[in-house]
Amino acid sequence: MMNKNAIIKEPTLATQNNVAALKAVASDIQAQQWPTFNQAPEDDRLDHFIHRDGEVFAGTHLIIDLWGANRLDELAHMEAAMREAVKKAGATLLHIHLHHFTPNGGISGVAVLAESHISVHTWPEKDFAAFDVFMCGDAAPEKAIEVLKGFFTPDRVDVDNLRRGKVDE
């Protein structure tokens, strides 16, 4: 009889003949404790849409390009930058996942927020980083720009500011 650890290591071994092991894997997956976010009791808004300058929209999405940037291949530095950007923006961090590519050392990753996300892709060989900062509610995503400048000291910063999910009223 196949055990669940063998199936996890080599999913192609899973067959209908391994029903008990498959059920054990399914049970483990269902029991997985995923991060959750409970909004504060005093915050009874259901949509967290932003009302600003006579517009109603889901959130602010900043597309940030850093050119001539430094330290784009350092995982710990990237994580620290993302954590500080979340903090300065007044957002709520749920999870960070970063992946380091070899041989060039580029990083791709995301900080998942209660308010949305910050994502990054770096090309250290070009001294270039692409960040997306998308936040809804009371968060201030614009504050992440100065944090990223401070951590990566780019020669040039290009920012596009989009209002996502505009409501026609």
Mapping DSSP to helix (H, G, I), strand (E, B) and coil, where does residue 20 land?
helix
136 is annotated as an active-site residue? yes
CA distances from 144 to 61, 63, 65 (A): 12, 11, 13
Catalytic residue selected from 51, 77, 116, 119: 116
99 is annotated as an active-site residue? no
Catalytic residue selected from 77, 100, 117, 121: 121
97 is annotated as an active-site residue? no
- The answer to whether residues 138 and 51 touch, using CB atoms and an 8 Å cutoff, is no
Catalytic residue ranges: 116, 121, 136
